[in-house]
Amino acid sequence: MTEKVINDFSITIATVNGSGSQTANVTLLRALFKMGIPVSGKNLFPSNIQGLPTWYTIRVSKDGYIARRDEQEVVVTLNPVSFARDLASVQPGGAFFYADDIKLPIARSDISIYPIPVTQLARAANVSPALRDYIANMVYVGILAHMLGIDMETIKQALSFHFKGKAQAIDSNFSTVKTAADWAAQNLKKNDPYSVMQMDSTSDFVMADGNTAAALGAIYGGLQFAAWYPITPASTLAESLNVFLPQLRKTTDGKQTYAVLQAEDELAAIGMAIGAGWGGLRSMTSTSGPGISLMAEYAGLAYFAEVPVVIWDVQRIGPSTGLPTRTAQGDLTEAYFLSHGDKQNIILLPGSVQECFEFGWKALDLAEHLQAPVFVMSDLDLGMNQWMTKPFEYPDTPLERGKILWEADLEELNGIWSRYKDSDGDGIPFRTVPGNKHPSSAWFGRGTGHDENARYTEDASTWENNMARLKKKYDTARTLVPKPVIETAKGATIGIIAYGSTEPAVEEARVLLKQAGAPKTAFLRLRALPCTAQVHDFIKKYERIYIVEANRDGQLRQILSAVLPDQAPKFRSAYHSDGLPLTAKWVKEAILAQEEK
Partner 1 sequence: MTTPAPTQTNKAGLSKNDYRGLPSTLCQGCGHNSIANQIITVCYDLDIVPEEIMKFSGIGCSSKSPAYFLNRSFGFNGLHGRMSSLATGALFADKSIRAIGISGDGDTASIGMGGFKHMVRRNAPIVYIVENNGVYGLTKGQFSATAEIGLDLKHQGINQYMPVDICMEALTSNATFVARSFAGDAKQVKELLKAALSHHGVAVLDIISPCVTFNNQDNAIHSYTWGKDHEAPLHEISFIPALDEIELQGEFAEGTVREVCMHDGSTVLLKKLEKDYDPTNRANAFQMLESAQLNNWLVTGLLYIDESKPTLTETFNLVDTPLNRLAEPDLRPARETIEKINAMMF
Binding mask 535-574 for partner 1 (x = CB under 8 A): ----------------------------------------
CA distance 43 to 195: 22
Size of the site for partner 1 (CB under 8 A): 78
Contact call for residue 340 and partner 1 (CB under 8 A): no
For partner 1, the closer CB: 282 or 473:
282
Smallest gap from Cβ 339 to partner 1, in A, equals 11
Provide, rounded to whole angstroms, the least separation between the CB of residue 32 and partner 1: 11
With CB under 8 A as the contact rule, which of the stretches 133-141, 431-439, 550-558, 586-594 interacts with partner 1?
Answer: 431-439
Nearest residue to 142 (alpha-carbon basis) of 94, 203, 76, 193: 76
Closest contact distance (angstroms) between CB of 346 and partner 1 is 20
Strand duo 521-526 + 544-549: pairing: unpaired
Buried b (16+ CB within 10 A) or exposed e, 62-90: eeebbbbbeebbbbbbbbeebbeebbebb
DSSP string, 72-122: EEEEEE--TTTHHHHHHHEEEEEEEEEETT--------SSEEEEE-HHHHH
Q: 462: how many CB neighbours lie within 10 A of its CB?
A: 16
Nearest CB to partner 1, comparing residues 305 and 526: 305
- Touching partner 1, residues 238-297 (CB under 8 A): 244, 248-249, 251, 254-259, 261, 263-265, 267-283, 297
Query: At its nearest, how many Å lie between partner 1 and the CB of residue 122?
Result: 26
Task: State how beta strands 309-315 and 283-287 pair.
Answer: parallel
Buried-state track 206-218, b at ≥16 Cβ within 10 A, e below 16: ebbbbbbbbbbbb
In the range 448-467, which residues lie near partner 1 by CB under 8 A?
448, 455-456
Quick note: the x/- pattern for partner 1 over 513-532, rule CB under 8 A, is --------------------
Tell which phi-psi region holds residue 540, choosing left (phi > 0), alpha (psi between -120 and 50) or beta.
alpha
Query: Closest CB to partner 1 among 56 and 392?
Result: 392
If we measure between CA atoms, which residue out of 498, 496, 505 comes closest to residue 542?
A: 496
The interface with partner 1 within residues 97-126 (CB under 8 A) comprises none
Which residue, 251 or 320, has its beta carbon nearer to partner 1? 251
Interface stretch with partner 1, choices 112-120, 124-132, 212-220, 507-515 (CB under 8 A)? 212-220
If one counts every other C-beta atom within 10 angstroms of the C-beta of residue 496, the result is: 27
Q: Is 207 in the site for partner 1 (CB under 8 A)?
A: yes
580 DSSP 8-state letter: S
- Please, which residue, 432 or 573, has the CB nearer to partner 1? 432
CA distance 322 to 300: 25
Footprint on residues 376-415 left by partner 1 (CB under 8 A): 386, 391-395, 398-399
Q: Are 389 and 350 in contact (CB under 8 A)?
A: no
Closer Cβ to partner 1, 259 or 568, answer by number = 259
Number of CB atoms found within 10 A of residue 129's CB: 7
The mark string for 156-195 relative to partner 1 (x by CB under 8 A, - otherwise) is --x--x----------------------------------
Chain residues 215-234 in contact with partner 1, contact rule CB under 8 A: 216, 219-222, 224-225, 227
